[in-house]
């Protein structure tokens, strides 16, 4: 970036004299966790400065250039000194980066065997000697491995780790580490809440915004290697030449960062293009159409990743429109992609209207197809059986599809977690999901291990998350939504990384290494998901939202087009009790789990209480482990959720001055809204469920602020964000 001397001078002087700098909003969240301020701990800073005198890069490629640029940018900031970078004149304390193929210095270390164990994306960070000089190396088998290692190396300094006797080997446990965008071609983002789509179709491919590159940097820093850039509710035009030309411009921007571009396709494309009157996957004309269109895609994007498909789901077209099954549908596309090495991500999110229990839908449709999918198809399964609820049991498909490649679909965007308004770190949800023991093949059959291919020996592995970055300056709307993106990426690389560890890294890199800031905020983050469960739907309740907006409570919602879009369908509150009986006496969905779990979940005395009402219809008087009745426990949980938000507020307000005023003020303001929303959730649900239980709210709890009628009216008239953005209202108000 060109900057004039005088511009720099102004910065210098502005700094020196403590004046306001003539630069707007440097701490506006745009830099995410890729912030490189000087290391604050002085001893460590000096150690780092001593250990790092030079960057040596021998290889030349766009990816090596990206790694070098990131290290220069990062180290010159972190070390508070300029760092030289040359080709191969090795001084003491050099940082040498490369592969055995592109760097004679790295090749001289004979790392072949050790690198072989790290695959095509892993890397070594190591203190060693070259020509008797002390150096640190970042070595890998591929350029992108070097890039990943470079981000890891910078993270060590950003989080103030020692570089002494460095010896780190890392390789991803999953192959496909993918982010999904639900971006429409008109730039509105479904469930995004952070501005318009980043992809500025109006000026692509001529103008490549700096944001495309920074977006790629952010993802690459986590080891994410794929992005599906458009909504699963896909506009067929995404495969038109006009759009492919624009999309190729994005792929060009992402390529140096090792990020493959994928597209969500519309199954009806051959018809939408006006070429055929069918999209039947077994029709040779349809097969030929996809073959040709896919060839065209690869002409524009030679390293195109593949297709993501939402078929026969929520009104989307699919193979069932022609009496074919999901395997027929997926395999036809897989055949078109196979010559180029592309893959199909086929979503398992289906629930036909005529099944009795939506919970069962996905398993009932897919289990019979186990083993029928082509080897370049991966079934993309949401973590739970319903739809990204604050807490769900795991989707039974994970333990059932022994002969099918499967990948996880998580959600970073907070569709059911208060949009970009509430603070709700998703790390604990991801961790809970990945560490769930399924007993599919006995102990150790965790979801993480299943995804990794350890349990069923699957050949293709992966993890995806629906992320929400948009044109909002800080990418994600609420600054803390960034933390869930971060945690997802880290866990996609290594599902054993804990939510707490990811939170701490993120805080250190994004805000400060000051423990007085980190510790309380990490506690807030770790509690925030459970708070969101508690004030919305504790004890295994689920989906009590206003239909459509997924933001505010309306547990009384009934009489919609489909029963499984109402709230009463899910909670089944009655005079006698509450909860959805999924045991043998009910829908028997528990039979979709391995027997150990089916037994546990089916036994009211053994089922974990936080999943209880997912599986059982339980008497209001049922005694809980706390000694309270179910009713009292439910009330307790709702009040606890509000208390947790208030505690977050108190903690945050104490931290003024530890970070910049702009981000501090934004979070503070959003916590005010969150507290108000949490009270609305609590009161709406408690008062509504009380009409069934007929029981009192224990003394000692604050009274609901208003009566039930008020909250029902509020749900009809309150300010409600549009589905695509939390920034408008859909109802006439006074």
Residues 310-349 within binding reach of a copy of itself (CB under 8 A): none
User: From residue 374, how far is each of 283, 405, 460, 514, 657 by CA, in Å?
Assistant: 18, 9, 11, 51, 56
Locate 657 and state its tokens.
């001055």
**Closer CB to a copy of itself, 1 or 699, in the complex:** 1
Of 272, 319, 265, 316, the C-alpha closest to 294 is 265
559 is an interface residue for a copy of itself by CB under 8 A: no
Would you give the DSSP letter of residue 168? E
Q: Does 527 bind a copy of itself (CB under 8 A)?
A: no
Burial of 613 (0-12, 13-18, 19+ CB in 10 A): buried
Q: How far is CA 183 from CA 295, 410, 467, 512, in A?
A: 24, 17, 10, 32
Residue that is written with structure tokens 């699963």 in the block: 232
Pairing of strands 577-578, 226-228: unpaired
Residue 549 found at the interface with a copy of itself (CB under 8 A): no
Total residues in contact with a copy of itself, by rule CB under 8 A: 102
For a copy of itself, the binding residue among 123, 215, 243, 257 (CB under 8 A) is 243
Question: In this complex, which beta carbon is closest to a copy of itself, that of residue 3 or of residue 132?
Answer: 3
Q: How far is the CB of 551 from a copy of itself (least distance, A)?
A: 10
Residue 673 as a binder of a copy of itself (CB under 8 A): the answer is yes
* Residue 276 binds a copy of itself (CB under 8 A): no
DSSP 58: -
Taking the least distance from each CB to a copy of itself, the nearer of 6 and 561 is 6
95 alpha-carbon distance from chain centroid: 32
Selected binder of a copy of itself within 98, 195, 270, 577 (CB under 8 A): 195
Between CA 661 and CA 263 the distance in angstroms is 39
Annotation marks residue 280 as catalytic: no
Q: List Cα–Cα distances, 66 to 36, 54, 70, 106, 148, in angstroms.
A: 16, 17, 6, 18, 11
Q: Which of 55, 125, 157, 185 binds a copy of itself (CB under 8 A)?
A: 185
Interactions with a copy of itself, residue window 464-493 (CB under 8 A): 471-473
Which one, 419 or 638, has the nearer CB to a copy of itself?
Answer: 419
Q: Which of 100, 236, 317, 553 lies at the binding interface for a copy of itself (CB under 8 A)?
A: 236
Minimum distance from CB of 633 to a copy of itself (Å)? Answer: 33
Known catalytic membership, residue 561: no
253-272: contacts with a copy of itself (CB under 8 A): 272
Q: Does residue 728 touch a copy of itself according to CB under 8 A?
A: yes
Both structure tokens of 320: 């069932």
The answer to whether 252 contacts a copy of itself (rule: CB under 8 A) is: no
Binding mask 629-658 for a copy of itself (x = CB under 8 A): ----------------------------x-
Does residue 81 touch a copy of itself according to CB under 8 A? yes
d(CA 74, CA 191): 33
101 touching a copy of itself, by CB under 8 A: no
533 binds a copy of itself (CB under 8 A): no
CA distance 426 to 173: 20
Does residue number 713 form part of the binding site for a copy of itself (CB under 8 A)?
no
CA distances from 389 to 414, 488, 543, 646, 677 (A): 10, 17, 7, 23, 17
Q: Which of residues 2-31 bind a copy of itself (CB under 8 A)?
A: 2-4, 6-28, 30-31
Among 51, 141, 142, 197, binds a copy of itself (CB under 8 A): 197
Place of tokens 């959805």: 580
314 is catalytic: yes
Between residue 205 and residue 234, which ones bind a copy of itself under the rule CB under 8 A? 206-208, 210, 214
What's the half-sphere exposure (Cβ side, CA atoms, 13 Å) at 686?
A: 31
Examine residue 43 and tell whether it contacts a copy of itself (CB under 8 A). no
Catalogue the active-site residues. Answer: 314, 387, 415
């Amino acid at each position: 970036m060109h900057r004039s001397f005088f511009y720099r001078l102004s910065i210098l002087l502005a700094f020196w004299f403590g004046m306001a700098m003539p630069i707007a909003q440097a701490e506006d969240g745009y830099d995410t966790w890729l912030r490189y301020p000087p290391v604050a701990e002085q001893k460590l800073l000096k150690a780092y400065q001593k250990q790092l005198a030079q960057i040596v890069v021998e290889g030349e490629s766009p990816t090596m250039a990206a790694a070098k640029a990131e290290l220069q940018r990062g180290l010159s900031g972190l070390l508070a000194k300029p760092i030289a970078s040359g080709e191969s004149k090795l001084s003491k304390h050099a940082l040498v980066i490369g592969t055995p193929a592109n760097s004679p210095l790295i090749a001289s270390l004979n790392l072949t065997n050790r690198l072989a164990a790290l695959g095509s994306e892993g890397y070594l960070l190591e203190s060693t000697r070259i020509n008797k000089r002390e150096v640190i190396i970042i070595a890998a088998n591929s350029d992108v491995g070097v890039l990943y290692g470079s981000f890891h190396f910078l993270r060590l300094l950003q989080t103030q780790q020692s570089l002494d006797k460095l010896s780190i080997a890392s390789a991803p446990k999953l192959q496909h580490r993918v982010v999904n965008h639900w971006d429409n071609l008109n730039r509105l983002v479904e469930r995004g809440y952070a501005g318009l789509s980043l992809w500025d179709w109006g000026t692509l491919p001529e103008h490549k915004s700096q944001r495309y590159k920074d977006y790629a940097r952010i993802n690459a820093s986590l080891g994410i290697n794929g992005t599906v850039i458009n909504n699963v509710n896909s506009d067929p035009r995404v495969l038109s030449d006009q759009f492919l030309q624009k999309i190729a411009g994005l792929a060009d921007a992402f390529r140096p960062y090792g990020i493959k571009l994928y597209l969500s396709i519309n199954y009806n494309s051959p018809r939408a293009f006006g070429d055929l009157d069918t999209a039947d996957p077994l029709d040779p004309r349809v097969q030929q159409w996809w073959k040709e269109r896919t060839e065209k895609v690869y002409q524009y994007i030679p390293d195109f990743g593949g297709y993501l498909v939402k078929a026969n789901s929520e009104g989307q077209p699919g193979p069932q429109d022609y009496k074919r099954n999901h395997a027929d549908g997926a395999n036809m596309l897989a055949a078109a992609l196979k010559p180029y090495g592309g893959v199909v991500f086929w979503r398992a999110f289906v629930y036909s209207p005529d099944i009795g229990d939506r919970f069962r839908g996905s398993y009932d449709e897919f289990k019979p197809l186990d083993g029928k999918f082509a080897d370049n198809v991966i079934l993309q399964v949401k973590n739970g059986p319903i739809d990204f609820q604050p807490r769900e049991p795991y989707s039974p498909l994970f333990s059932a599809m022994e002969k099918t490649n499967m990948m996880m679909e998580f959600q970073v965007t907070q569709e059911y977690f208060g949009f970009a308004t509430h603070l709700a770190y998703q790390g604990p949800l991801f961790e809970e999901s990945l560490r769930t023991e399924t007993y599919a093949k006995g102990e150790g059959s965790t979801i993480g291990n299943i995804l990794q291919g350890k349990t069923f020996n699957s050949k293709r592995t992966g993890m995806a998350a629906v992320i929400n970055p948009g044109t909002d300056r800080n990418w994600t709307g609420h600054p803390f939504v960034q933390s869930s993106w971060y945690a997802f990426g880290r866990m996609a690389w290594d599902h054993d990384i804990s939510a707490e560890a990811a939170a701490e890294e993120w805080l250190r890199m994004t805000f400060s290494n000051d423990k007085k800031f980190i510790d309380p905020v990490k506690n807030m983050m770790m509690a925030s998901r459970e708070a969101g469960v508690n004030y919305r739907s504790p004890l295994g309740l689920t989906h009590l939202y206003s239909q459509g907006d997924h933001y505010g409570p309306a547990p009384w919602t009934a009489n919609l087009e489909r029963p499984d879009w109402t709230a009463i369908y899910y909670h089944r509150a009655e005079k006698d009790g509450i909860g959805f009986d999924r045991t043998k006496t009910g829908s028997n969905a528990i039979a979709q789990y391995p027997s150990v779990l089916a037994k546990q979940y089916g036994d009211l005395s053994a089922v974990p209480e936080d999943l209880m009402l997912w599986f059982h219809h339980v008497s209001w008087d049922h005694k809980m482990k706390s000694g309270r009745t179910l009713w009292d426990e439910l009330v307790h949980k709702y009040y606890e959720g509000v208390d947790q938000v208030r505690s977050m507020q108190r903690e945050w307000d104490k931290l003024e001055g530890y970070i910049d005023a702009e981000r501090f003020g934004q979070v503070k303001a959003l916590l005010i809204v969150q507290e108000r929303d949490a009270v609305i959730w609590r009161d709406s649900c408690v008062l509504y469920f009380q009409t069934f239980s007929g029981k009192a709210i224990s003394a000692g709890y604050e009274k609901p602020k208003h009566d039930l009628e008020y909250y029902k009216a509020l749900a009809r008239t309150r300010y409600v964000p549009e589905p695509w953005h939390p920034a408008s209202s859909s109802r006439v108000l006074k």
